[in-house]
Amino acid sequence: MATTGFLTIHVNKGKTIAQTLFDRTGYIKNEAKTEGGVLVAGYACDPRTVDEEFLISKREYERISPRGESKRNILAYHARQSFKPGEITPQEALDVGYELAMRFTKGNHAFVVSVHTDKAHIHCHAVFNSTTLDCTRKFNNFWNSSYALGRLSDLICAEHGLSVIENPKPSKGSYGSWLGDKKATPHRKVLKGYIDEVLPQCATFEDFLAKLAEAGFEVNAKRKHISIKAPRWGKPARIDSLGRGYTEAEIRAKLGNGNVITGGSGSGTRIRVSLLVDIQEKIREGKGAGYTQWAKIFNLKEAAKTLIFLKENGIDSYDDLVKKSSSASGDFSALTKRIKEIEGRQKKISELQKQIGTYGKTKDIYAKYKASGWDRGFYDIHAADIILHRAAKKHFNEIGMKKLPSINQLRQEYATLSSERKTLYSGYHKNKDLSRELATARANAERILGIEPDAQNNDASRTSNRHDLYEI
């Protein structure tokens, strides 16, 4: 991921401050680019009225500050981010963009963040008000602020396990041209390659860590998650961030230690199953004879562990395995769907509570404004309350609510949902692990039995492989 721009927003030629703010914020909120306006979030402002709220702060700053506003002043700042295609979901990109804007402004400036999905790569926009929340100061656009924003962006992406561009160079071309013609091998890829090379030489996990240290890597095994850093690396890499096949548990399993875990549906212990290695595919990737020999031994061990796992779970045929795997997958999907439904409803309740509170606080002012015959002078004095009142009414109309529920009703519903969500989460990881392990065992069984994945639903194919799994 890279920060691709940090722009200042001045008054557009031939337009007013209000028109400029409306145009710029309107662009990033474009519903055609933000999946109908879903991928938009705001801090200390309502995204629907962000331009008017920014304008109110400008007027207040003009009243308080002897300098006042002018057409040469910076009205707002616009930051842009682009993400590697396929690496992040739109909602995750919105969370990352929101975190970047919050940490860069330190919560002192209102901002609106959006994610655009109209390009091949997901990209995020953030516009924050140059005026502080208390309307007494302006943002200090210090020297090299764009560089500082980029460094902060890289740090946040690293914390979220996202890729960053090592040495970005300004380019007039496309996003891809930032990478340049010669791309350095990513640190994690280097580490994964060395792990593949050194594992066959190790007997225990401790031997593995010692080999890494001998090769010049700095190994920190004192914390919960082991991290590794090469001499020229700026930051260490956690083993568990390298992906499937490279977590501590999986490496221990490959080495033959640390592969028995407690828990599960049965009593005592059970075996954690890992996917069999596709040896032919690894040979095509250039793996040598040493790796091939290690992979054969690893596959024999995993095949045995797969059979033990199936026996522990009372599965004695491929058809039983398919049924249990599909059932577990369906149960986990239903559980995940219900949790998302609860979280979505809680988000709506929170927003509704906020709008009901705003409506109650501003309805008297709005009634007086209406009684004044929509007097302009009255509006100028009470603009903030009037705008917030209209935004609340608009929200009620959008959700089709004619009679407002009481705050107590909403609180009770929220508490009930929280209790249900807590109960569901108590079994979430257990269901997730069971679903994953059954899917892994099924994949291993299909490789052992020679069943092609695309023929899994073919009855004739299944019938020909219905022998007892323990006779393999």
The tens digit of pLDDT for each residue in 141-155 reads: 877 788 888 888 888
Domain shared by 141 and 47, yes or no: yes
Residues near 179 by beta carbon (within 8 Å), at least 6 away in sequence:
165
- Residue 229 belongs to domain spanning: 185-257
Give the number of domains in the chain: 4
**How many CA atoms are closer than 13 Å to the CA of 68, on its beta-carbon side?**
4
- Supply the pLDDT for residue 273: 62
Whichever domain contains 142, its CATH number is 3.30.930.30
Q: Tell me if the pTM is above 0.85.
A: no
220 and 328 belong to one structural domain: no
Is 470 found in the same domain as 335? Answer: yes
The 10s digit of each residue's pLDDT in 304-335 is 878 887 887 788 888 888 888 888 888 888 88
Is 199 in the same domain as 129? no
Domain match, 97 and 208 both: no
Q: Which of 179, 210, 225 is the last residue of a domain?
A: 179
More reliable by pLDDT, 362 or 292: 362
> pLDDT value at position 172?
47
- 219 and 242 in a single domain? The answer is yes
pLDDT in tens, 2-35: 556 788 998 888 888 888 999 999 999 998 899 8
Q: Are residues 189 and 201 in the same domain?
A: yes
**Boundary residue ending a domain (143, 160, 179):** 179
> What whole-number percentage of the chain has pLDDT above 90?
17
User: So what's the pLDDT on residue 289?
Assistant: 77
One domain for residues 201 and 135: no
Say whether both 7 and 152 belong to one domain.
Answer: yes
The pLDDT value given to residue 174: 43
Phi/psi for 358 (5° steps) reads: -65, -45
Q: Tell whether 142 and 213 lie within a shared domain.
A: no
- In this predicted structure, what is the pLDDT of residue 111? 95
Q: Is the pLDDT of residue 188 over 80?
A: no
Residues 213 and 88 in one domain: no
* pLDDT the model gives residue 368: 93
- What pLDDT, on the 0 to 100 scale, is given for residue 121? 81
Q: Do 202 and 304 have their domain in common?
A: no
